[in-house]
Amino acid sequence: MNPIQSLLLALPPETAHSFAIASLSAAGVLPGSITPLAGAQRSFLGNVLQNPVGLAAGLDKNAEAVLGLARCGFGFVEVGTVTPLAQPGNPKPRLFRLPEHRALINRMGFNNHGMEAMAAKLHQVRVGGRLKDTLLGVNLGKNKNTPNEEAAADYIKGMECLHSYADYFTINLSSPNTPGLRQLQHGEPLKELLGTVKERQLALASQGSGAPLLLKVAPDLSQEEVEQIAEQVTACEFDGVIATNTTLSRETVAGHKYAEEAGGLSGDPLTGRSAEVVAQFRQALPKSMTIVGVGGISSGEDAQTILNAGADALQIYTSFIYQGTKIVRNIVESIR
Ligand SMILES: Cc1cc2nc3c(=O)[nH]c(=O)nc-3n(C[C@H](O)[C@H](O)[C@H](O)COP(=O)(O)O)c2cc1C
């Protein structure tokens, strides 16, 4: 482990996070254009992905370090979750390390500066013109105080504000830390929400910038629920899914001192489950639809497992925290 990585892991988790974002943001200021690592190139949502390894949502919630993160070599970087209005998230402590499991538990609760602040950041990135070929995803959420019946309006506000900066949007209905959010993954509420969002995307597309749409799903779904979600995503002409978000299950970390902390578990304990969910969606979705696999990818072997399960591209978060920037190159090179 390099000294910076050791230092970060010695700090309390949120302090380390703020320090990492500040450092990555500073790294972005260095001059020159920024390109992804060369890897197994593929087409992705109407664009070319230089390598299939992306940064998952939640690390750069406010798009403060896009250039520095892109410098790490990712094929794509997803920012957010961003909500229409700024909100503080849950009280601290809300992020816990379980190093024995190379895992994290978080209940951040969509702490973010709001969509207007993100638009200003992304505007700087785009006008700067230094981001060459790294694709940029924007992950959208709803404010905690917005009732589920009005959730679609929050996602639409996000799209309207940010569509000119995003290569794709992720509609996030799977955070376990916004009360009731995951209920929107099912039945009539899902159908209505996806339909309304798609309608707005088509209207934006007719004006020249309707970014593709992915739905981010939880790992805590039955086979039947996966099939129902796949049916709606297809019917509403979404472009694909991101599987998965963090899990509520504690089976794999039972007995750990933080195991009973509320929130979502990520990292190594999730690999098997995220591979299963990716495989279930691959089975249930038309071949043409994109699947981004995420959850517990911490080596080239894990990456290959998720690709074999049917993912078209990958994202990482927790392994980036534990292993630092070198994990990006390790994975890209191992699956070239
Ligand atoms: C501290 C933390 C914050 C997160 N915040 C978000 C978020 O805002 N939006 C989101 O869609 N996913 C969020 N996630 C989930 C990750 O994007 C990812 O889906 C999950 O952690 C599984 O991948 P991993 O095992 O590689 O970490 C967060 C994860 C962590 C650990």
Q: What is the pLDDT of residues 117-142, one digit of tens each?
A: 999 999 999 999 999 999 999 999 99
- In short, whether 316's Cβ falls inside 6 Å of ligand 1 is yes
Q: Over the stretch 139-187, which tens digit does the pLDDT of each residue have?
A: 999 999 999 999 999 999 999 999 999 999 999 999 999 988 888 878 8
**How many angstroms separate the CA atoms of 152 and 198, rounded?**
10
Q: Which amino acid is at 196?
A: T
> Is residue 322 left, alpha or beta, with left meaning phi > 0 and alpha meaning psi from -120 to 50?
alpha
pLDDT of 119? 98
108 close to ligand 1 (CB < 6 Angstrom): yes
Per-chain mean pLDDT for the chain = 95
DSSP 62: T
Pick from 150, 152, 148, 123: which is nearest to 138 by CA? Answer: 123
Each residue's pLDDT tens digit, 181-212:
888 878 899 999 999 999 999 999 999 888 99
Q: Catalytic pick from 25, 174, 175, 319?
A: 175
SS3 of residue 258 by DSSP: coil
What pLDDT shows up at residue 1? Answer: 73
d(CA 89, CA 12): 18
User: Cis link prior to 246 (omega < 30° from 0)?
Assistant: no
What share of the chain in percent tops pLDDT 90? 87
CB atoms inside a 10 Å sphere around CB 257: 10
* Interval between CA 274 and ligand 1 midpoint (Å): 13
DSSP assignment of 187-209, as one string?
A: HHHHHHHHHHHHHHHHHHHHTT-
- Among left, alpha and beta (phi > 0; psi -120 to 50; other), residue 211 is beta
* pLDDT higher than 90, residue 66: yes
pLDDT at 239: 98
% helix, strand, coil for the chain, step of 5:
45, 20, 40
222 has catalytic annotation:
no
Question: Among 246, 320, 322, which residue has the most ligand 1 atoms within 8 Å of its CB, making it the best to mutate?
Answer: 246
The Cβ of residue 96 has, within 10 Å, a number of other Cβ atoms equal to 18
Return the CA Rg of the chain. Answer: 18
Q: Where are the alpha helices (DSSP H) in the chain?
A: 3-10, 13-29, 66-71, 115-128, 151-162, 187-206, 223-235, 271-284, 300-308, 318-323, 326-334
Instruction: Give the mean pLDDT of 79-93.
Output: 97
Q: What pLDDT does residue 29 have? A: 85
Number of structural domains found in the chain: 1
The pTM for the full model equals 0.98
Indicate if the pLDDT at residue 81 is higher than 90: yes
What's the mean pLDDT in 12-34?
89
Query: Using CA positions, which residue lies closest to atom 4 of ligand 1?
Result: 58
Contact 265, 287 (CB under 8 A): no
Write the residue with the smallest CA distance to atom 21 of ligand 1: 266
Instruction: Output the pLDDT for position 204.
Output: 94
Report whether residue 139 contacts ligand 1, using a CB cutoff of 6 Å. Answer: yes
Atom of ligand 1 nearest to the CA of 294: 23
Cα(120)–Cα(140) distance, rounded to whole angstroms? 16
Rounded Cα–Cα distance for residues 217 and 238 (Å):
13
* Alpha-carbon distances, residue 106 vs 20, 87, 309 (angstroms): 17, 17, 26
According to the model, what pLDDT value does residue 31 have?
A: 85
Q: Is the separation of the CB atoms in 134 and 74 below 8 Å?
A: yes
- Cα-Cα-Cα-Cα torsion 231, 234, 237, 239, nearest 10 degrees, comes to 130
- Mean pLDDT across 6-21: 90
> What average pLDDT score do residues 269-288 get?
97
pLDDT, one tens digit per residue, over 95-113 is: 999 999 999 999 999 999 9
Per-residue pLDDT for 2 more than 90?
no
Domain that holds residue 36: 3-334
- Number of the ligand 1 atom closest to the C-alpha atom of 80: 8
Bridge partners for 199 per DSSP: none
pLDDT in tens, 215-249: 999 999 999 999 999 999 999 999 999 999 999 99
Residue 185's pLDDT is what?
78
Here the CATH number for the domain that contains residue 183 is: 3.20.20.70
- Name the amino acid, one letter, at 130: R
How many CB atoms sit inside 10 A of residue 244's CB? 28
pLDDT of residue 3: 78
Pure H helices in 243-286: 271-284
In terms of Cβ atoms closer than 10 Å to its own Cβ (0-12, 13-18, 19+), residue 100 is exposed
Distance CA 13, CA 27 (A): 21
Tell me: pLDDT of 336 over 90.
no
Ligand 1: centre distance to CA 267 (Å): 9
